[in-house]
Structure 1
């Protein structure tokens, strides 16, 4: 794994740095520790209880969240215990897989006919195959078989967590079919953020997982796939971005702890550093990509480590070149190079910016 090799190099370069046995490095954290290694160990708290129901289902509870998983693996209840709020509408269930016919008249791998959404089949073949509890979590494994395919879904409730986590391993062997998973929720949402294509229909939110076109590649997506998603009960935009960043960040072993090369001191709004990399042209320049995440204006100050603190920074186009069109907004105070250390950043709603540090 590239991350393991990188950590080995960093440990050699900084043998005096403390090392975390299991850590995550994420682009956004509500505690401000973006791009810093933080422990991935679970938070100690109340043990998660697991109770079997008379009908073959399972109830998980951690004192903050209580959820009922039916024998077919769907979630019929998801309660915020502290708020006394039920998130699943009456008579509906979370986590139902849906199989749609995907037979567009043209552009098989790209188009979806509108009537496909009216001709879906809810998969009802799921069954609980195991339910376990430990010191810091409890989980239920559900197996769903259909056609030539199979889905193994692990539903996990962790200690001290106000979210329910899903991990699906899909062994996919369908043709001209489209796989979705549905989440009817008793919420009113003005913003929906997800890692997959989704659509909101009243209280119904669906994630698109897989399709199986036969043109131009007749074997497209055939084989194993892994997906993860979470339902957050106390979701704010900040909490949602934090959880999404964790889902996208694998746990890394033996990570040395030190300050990131680049960080933001947020003054207002929600500016996020998306990536830090070397320039593609081999010059040794450092490229920073950042964006505004909340749909408002953001202001921040750029901080650099001592090794690159004397560099100059300029804004470029997305290809890291200097051909930034004059009619596009910029996030720096000038289109000319300015001192990188302490540079002021101003971002418009959802603005994406590419910055380049040189001469450090």
Structure 2
């Protein structure tokens, strides 16, 4: 399966053993479908010359000119497409910040407001090496000592066909009452950030002018936080980290919180996560941000075998109308399943839902799967109208 709408994943697939592998750029897989990848085409693509050039602390990619400081943080990120520097006043992107974290209450849940004044860059770079430089990706592996007991290993990945910069991170955490963030002080000027919640997103201020704004020093986000101007923006995507702080143009994602109650050792051990920086041309949309966030969280699976391309089981005609859930229907109903669909951008939309199989009937239901009305089916397609952020539940009988 691919992402939930008519999208595809280009540079990353998940192998059957769970490992991520690079594949031929431009391979397209429709939503809830399968595609055959030609090994000959992959070998031809992998035989091309690398588009990446490194000299000293500077890396030249198809999208960026990147400079690294002595800790291998991104001290300069120049977007060639728009001729724009993304680092704010020389501040480095992907800076690791640590602080003592002893909240007044709820040790594993709360973060106190003074945490922002405690954060310091105390990481020490132990080793840095280039582990991949080919026609598809350029991968740098860095090892850091965060504290006397905790360490971190991270791969920074630049792609030949994708402006996303990916950070595959493994933490060996052995500390109590320490909080770790990664900070991205960007040059984006916006008085609000968009942050994903379930079935949509909310806008939150990036300023601290009032007591209400100051109380939002740490907020939740699911798969993305986005800072956008009218024609350009930067998103911070992630696959499992849900706390973030945003002030002016700086996004600081919380990577770990070493609380001790109720489980004194619950946060200790090996932790893997992935986050990514995505500068995008154009304003926030499903095409520029949400698609990429889904592909990080739901990578395509790849298996060996013989088969043919398989058409999409179900798909949406509009990228902002997302098929989020396919599940069995509740109760004793047979030959039917449930689709849960939502509008993701915050605008009224019309969409056609197409089925790759014969459909007898489609009913709209509420969240409890109680019938509301029948929806006409024409050539195994149904037409829907959705209000901004509306969630629709359909019972499909086949």
**Given the two structures, how large is their TM-score scaled by the length of structure 1?**
0.79
Q: Secondary structure at the match of 1:337?
A: strand
Q: Counterparts of 2:126 and 2:71 in 1: how far apart (Å)?
A: 4
Asked if 2 retains the 8 angstrom alpha-carbon contact of 1:96 and 1:123, the reply is no
Tell me which residue corresponds to 1:253. Answer: 302
Asked if 1 retains the 8 angstrom alpha-carbon contact of 2:123 and 2:146, the reply is no
Q: Secondary structure at the match of 1:220?
A: coil
Give the 3 Å change call, closer, same or farther, for CA 270–48 of structure 1 in structure 2: same
Residue 292 (str. 1) matches residue 358 (str. 2)? no
Q: Counterparts of 2:135 and 2:113 in 1: how far apart (Å)?
A: 47
Q: Counterparts of 1:245 and 1:46 in 2: how far apart (Å)?
A: 30
Q: Deviations over 1:115-134 (max 9, x none)?
A: 12221122331244211422
Tell me which residue corresponds to 1:241. Answer: 290
Asked if 2 retains the 8 angstrom alpha-carbon contact of 1:163 and 1:231, the reply is yes
Q: Secondary structure at the match of 1:100?
A: strand
Q: Counterparts of 2:332 and 2:49 in 1: how far apart (Å)?
A: 52
Asked if 2 retains the 8 angstrom alpha-carbon contact of 1:60 and 1:138, the reply is no
Q: Secondary structure at the match of 1:242?
A: helix
Shift of 1:101: 2.2
Tell me which residue corresponds to 1:69. Answer: 68
Tell me which residue corresponds to 1:180. Answer: 181
1:25-104 alignment to 2 at 5 Å? 25-28=2-5, 29=7, 33-37=30-34, 47-53=50-56, 58-104=57-103
Give the 3 Å change call, closer, same or farther, for CA 321–68 of structure 1 in structure 2: same
Asked if 1 retains the 8 angstrom alpha-carbon contact of 2:364 and 2:392, the reply is no
Tell me which residue corresponds to 2:206. Answer: none
Q: Counterparts of 1:232 and 1:312 in 2: how far apart (Å)?
A: 38
Shift of 1:232: 1.8
Of stretches 148-157 and 219-228 in structure 1, the one that deviates more from structure 2 is 219-228
Give the 3 Å change call, closer, same or farther, for CA 222–79 of structure 1 in structure 2: same
User: Structure 1 regions of 5+ residues with no counterpart?
Assistant: 1-23, 324-334
Asked if 2 retains the 8 angstrom alpha-carbon contact of 1:179 and 1:211, the reply is yes
Asked if 2 retains the 8 angstrom alpha-carbon contact of 1:46 and 1:62, the reply is no
Q: Deviations over 1:148-200 (max 9, x none)?
A: 11111111111132222211111112212221110011113454341432222
Residue 231 (str. 1) matches residue 277 (str. 2)? yes
Q: Counterparts of 2:391 and 2:99 in 1: how far apart (Å)?
A: 35
Q: Deviations over 1:228-281 (max 9, x none)?
A: 122222254222112212211234223753123222223xx7211112122254
Q: Secondary structure at the match of 1:243?
A: helix
Tell me which residue corresponds to 1:20. Answer: none
Tell me which residue corresponds to 1:271. Answer: 321
Residue 301 (str. 1) matches residue 303 (str. 2)? no
Q: 1:220 aligns with which of 266, 273, 285?
A: 266
Q: Counterparts of 1:212 and 1:243 in 2: how far apart (Å)?
A: 29
Asked if 2 retains the 8 angstrom alpha-carbon contact of 1:180 and 1:210, the reply is yes
Tell me which residue corresponds to 2:252. Answer: 206
Q: Counterparts of 1:347 and 1:130 in 2: how far apart (Å)?
A: 50
Give the 3 Å change call, closer, same or farther, for CA 38–245 of structure 1 in structure 2: farther
Of stretches 90-99 and 251-260 in structure 1, the one that deviates more from structure 2 is 251-260
Q: Counterparts of 1:112 and 1:71 in 2: how far apart (Å)?
A: 31
Q: Counterparts of 2:63 and 2:296 in 1: how far apart (Å)?
A: 21
Q: Secondary structure at the match of 2:120?
A: strand
Q: Counterparts of 2:270 and 2:124 in 1: how far apart (Å)?
A: 19
Shift of 1:63: 3.0
Tell me which residue corresponds to 1:3. Answer: none
**Given the two structures, how large is their TM-score scaled by the length of structure 2?**
0.72
Shift of 1:60: 2.1
Asked if 2 retains the 8 angstrom alpha-carbon contact of 1:98 and 1:179, the reply is yes
Residue 122 (str. 1) matches residue 124 (str. 2)? no
Give the 3 Å change call, closer, same or farther, for CA 279–80 of structure 1 in structure 2: same
Shift of 1:286: 0.8
Of stretches 201-210 and 34-43 in structure 1, the one that deviates more from structure 2 is 34-43
